[in-house]
Amino acid sequence: MQNFRDKPTAVRTDLLPVLAGIAVAISGVGVALALADVQSPLRAPFILFFLFAGPACGIAAALSRAAPAARAATAAAGALVIDLLVAQTRSSPHTLTVGGGIIAVAAITALLFLRALGRRMRKPELINPADRLTKGIKKIRSGRFHT
């Protein structure tokens, strides 16, 4: 008889994209509710999720080579710093609005993701582990690899 424990790797590999999709959906609904100025009980928790998870994921993507624990701690602290700096710079000239703060945080998050994407585009071997293997094989065959 087959049970759930027979395929734990499939669950682990499929769970991360599903959780990322759920996070993007929650953030998108929160941003849409805030920018449309809809009064809903879901607006505040979804926006708080976006304000924390967006910059944290952007920082984590930018720090792909760091250890997982260090990356998580840095991403959490960095998200808090980004939110506080946006609030401080927007409140100094007394122009703090909900939409303006959300757009500023979204822009910073997009820049962080674009930085990580640019680094991956410059180094295609970071995209697929098989590419790293073929690059290593080509290096060995060309004689540039000395043991």
**Residue 100 domain boundaries:** 4-142
Q: Is the pLDDT of residue 35 over 60?
A: yes
- pTM of this structure: 0.70
Q: Is the pLDDT of residue 10 over 60?
A: no
**Residue 84 covered by a domain:** yes
**Residue 134 covered by a domain:** yes
**Residue 147 covered by a domain:** no
pLDDT of residue 12: 59
Number of domains in the chain: 1
**Residue 79 covered by a domain:** yes
Burial profile 90-102: b = 16 or more Cβ within 10 angstroms, e = fewer = eeeeeeeeeeebb
**Residue 28 to residue 117: CA distance in whole angstroms:** 21
SS3 content of the chain, % helix, strand, coil (to 5): 80, 0, 20
**Residue 24 covered by a domain:** yes
DSSP state of 66: S
Chain mean pLDDT for the chain = 81
The one-letter amino acid code at 89 reads T
**Residue 13 covered by a domain:** yes
Stretch 46-73: mean pLDDT, rounded?
A: 90
Q: Is the pLDDT of residue 3 over 70?
A: no
Most confident of 92-96, 101-105, 143-147: 101-105
Stretch 100-127: mean pLDDT, rounded?
A: 81
Query: What is the tens place of the pLDDT at every residue in 67-95?
Result: 889 999 999 999 999 999 998 988 887 77
